[in-house]
Amino acid sequence: MLKFLGRRLLIALPTMLVIATLAFGLLHATPGGPFDTAKRMPPEIQRSIEAKYHLDEPLWRQYLRYLNDLAHGDLGPSFQYRNTSVNELVRAGLPVDAVVGSLALLTAMLVGGFTGTVAALRRNSLWDHVPMFFAVLGISIPVFVTGPLLILVFAVQLHWLPSGDWRGIDIRYLLLPVAALALPYTAYIARMVRGAAIEVFTSPFIRTARAKGLPTRTVVLRHALRPVLMPLVSFLGPAFASVLTGSIIIESVFGLPGIGRYFLTGAINRDYTLVVGITVLYGALIIAFNLLADLCYAWLDPRVRLQS
């Protein structure tokens, strides 16, 4: 086990390097630079700005300089928000996404898991068709529709909740964005759990357990849970990494100061350091959560050996 962990952490380093390099290269390959506005600058001033941000150096030098800073935990200055560092932006935005994202995914896991299981147990009844219909809706209707719709109903017409803004851990301000973000994930999870649960419930060993007269609850919890959780865990790893680095649409619809929006404006404004920095962060999260997922596999299914 420890050997496994050690190996994975060792591999993580070169993986991160590749991620950083790819992102760096990709950003610099995109046409247009961060200081390209419609108004052209006199060359002298252009040179001065570029010198300040080291954009005048050959690309490989900039790359090495960036890696060096990265090794020290410094993600560099933001090119679009002058006089602000990427570290600062991430420090300010990450808690927002962490709160909204984890609440949304937890809700999705609970609600989706429960609904999916019940749907599988009461297959082809109303308990199955009704929630699954709503699951289909949840998947087909995009967030940029549900978000404004929720605002329209609960904030504008009913005045029950505020229409957005970030006020820390305040349930009134969190309810709508979490609900909007949780909806598609709930739908996904519900359908996946139902599918996996149906597989499991019709498998021989479950029928044996039931034939033995074990109550449904025991059957579900003790025998069926683990196989059902397997695909869920695979899905949740990247899902967590993704919500932690922000959902662009939720942030713009509700006006939340999260990382997702910076990422979008950063890509559009060619803010090299910001985009690469967030990508590196995302990479670290992906690696971490996928590792966690692998550990979960081993725990859920004792037959899984993590190395052959």
- Specify the residue, 217 or 257, whose C-beta has the smaller distance to another protein: 257
- Specify the residue, 16 or 214, whose C-beta has the smaller distance to another protein: 16
Burial grade of 33 (CB within 10 A; 0-12, 13-18, 19 or more)? middle
CA distance 216 to 226: 15
CB of 220 vs another protein, minimal distance in Å: 18
- Specify the residue, 212 or 303, whose C-beta has the smaller distance to another protein: 303
- Specify the residue, 225 or 230, whose C-beta has the smaller distance to another protein: 230
Among 2, 3, 44, 213, the residue binding another protein under the rule CB under 8 A is 44
- Within positions 13 to 42, which residues make up the interface with another protein, using CB under 8 A? 15, 18-19, 22-23, 26-27, 29-32, 35-42
CB of 259 vs another protein, minimal distance in Å: 9
Among 45, 59, 64, 110, the residue binding another protein under the rule CB under 8 A is 45
CB of 68 vs another protein, minimal distance in Å: 21
- Within positions 148 to 167, which residues make up the interface with another protein, using CB under 8 A? 148-149, 151-152, 155-157, 159, 162-166
Among 62, 195, 210, 214, the residue binding another protein under the rule CB under 8 A is 195
Neighbours of 287 (CB within 10 A): 20
Among 5, 170, 172, 205, the residue binding another protein under the rule CB under 8 A is 205
- Within positions 86 to 145, which residues make up the interface with another protein, using CB under 8 A? 88-89, 92-93, 124-126, 128-130, 132-133, 136-137, 139-142, 144-145
The one segment of 57-65, 85-93, 99-107, 216-224 that binds another protein by CB under 8 A: 85-93
- Within positions 226 to 285, which residues make up the interface with another protein, using CB under 8 A? 227, 230-231, 233-235, 237-238, 241, 251-258, 261-265, 267-270, 275-276, 278-279, 282-283
The one segment of 56-64, 65-73, 97-105, 147-155 that binds another protein by CB under 8 A: 147-155
Residues touching another protein, count (CB under 8 A)? 122
CA distance 287 to 294: 11
Q: Kindly report the three-state secondary structure assignment for every residue of the chain.
A: CHHHHHHHHHHHHHHHHHHHHHHHHHHHHCCCCCCCCCCCCCHHHHHHHHHHCCCCCCHHHHHHHHHHHHHCCCCCECCCCCCCEHHHHHHHHHHHHHHHHHHHHHHHHHHHHHHHHHHHHCCCCHHHHHHHHHHHHHHHCCHHHHHHHHHHHHHHHCCCCCCCCCCCCCHHHHHHHHHHHHHHHHHHHHHHHHHHHHHHHCCHHHHHHHHCCCCHHHHHHHHHHHHHHHHHHHHHHHHHHHHHCCCHHHHHHHCCCCHHHHHHHHHHCCCHHHHHHHHHHHHHHHHHHHHHHHHHHHHHCCCCCCCC
292 scored as a contact of another protein (CB under 8 A):
no
